[in-house]
Structure 1
Amino acid sequence: MKAFADRLDRFVTFVGMAGGWLLFLLAAVVCFDVTTRKFFVFQSTLMQEMEWHIHTVIFFLALGMAYLRGSHVRIDIFRDKMSERARAKLELFGMLFLMLPFTFLLFTYGIDFVMQSYAQNEGSTSMQGIHHRWIIKSIVPTAMVLLFLALLATLIRIVLYLKGLAPAPEAFAKQEIPVAQIDKEAA
């Protein structure tokens, strides 16, 4: 089971890190947009919408990886005073009764969101904008699948830990995980 959780972790981390490479594209689009607006008085709705869309993709692709690494927001004033075992039980409760149902609902409604957009051939309200909005909207259910896989990996690790079959998952450590360590794990 631990090997399966590790494979899920590596896959979600790979996708998150791959999404990080889109930061270069985002920087190029922003630089082009700013330069053309400043020096050539050329405003492009397409460029502005591309900035928003690329940013959205980066955020959603990294969501699962952020959860795996414990980089998301937590209520640390309560959590830090708990033992590792109590934190694991709290995490398990939160996953089962909050995160998994939320992920399922967002996935289900995300699919409907994409299908409606596709059926309506939804596009930008601007003639110069990005058309086929269903493509960008498909990142919502995709991100929920990645988040579900991250939750599943963490769930497996928590159950193994609570049964005494594995050490506490990394996300329960009080210190943050250095970026260099994440880079080594992704390689």
Structure 2
Amino acid sequence: PEKTVHLAIVDPGVGTERRLIAARSKKYFFVGPDNGIFSLVWNHEKPEEIVSLDNPEYWLENISSTFHGRDIMAPVAAYISKGVELSKFGESYTPVGKLPWSPVIIEHGKIRGEIIYIDRFGNLVTSIRVQDIPEDNFPDKVVIRIGKWIIRGISRTYGDASPGSLIALIGSYGYLEIAVTGGSAQEKTGLSWDEPVEVSLL
């Protein structure tokens, strides 16, 4: 829902000089470390305000050197949910942490993205969202190209094709995935992170 506060605590740099931030987009709030964790979010939810979490007034009293998620970020997220303005937490800040994800490009009847994640089943999750694909083309009027592989149309479920078939479908988080019915797309294709994906609109 709008005004949701998203707290992200994937923070292997806890206790180092990395900064902690709070951000506001048009619809949502975000709290987390400046380590690139919000890189993909910023591609879709442009931040309108970002501050560094510098004001200890909004932290717990005793700060652990290894648990800033509990001692700093969680309290700040709670204060945001109560309506405290971001400017109270610290100075305006420009994030430096960025993961190497390229934005999705939509032009000339093609949608270009890349593999951004491989789950434990070997499904190849791409950066292309369901809303990037025009309704008039969904699900049959598309051709997906990834590596040497070509997939025609988008399946509804993992079991829509015969065992061993390479398919494309929209995963539970709303992103285009490449999968194998009853198998691993990573093992079948040998593809990995950053592999380009192209969706042609028919």
- Asked if Structure 1 and Structure 2 have the same fold, meaning a TM-score greater than 0.5 normalized by the shorter chain, the answer is no
More strand by share: 2
Q: Which has the higher contact order (CA 8 A, sep 6+)?
A: 1
Q: Tell me the TM-score normalized by structure 1.
A: 0.22
TM-score, normalised via structure 2 length: 0.21
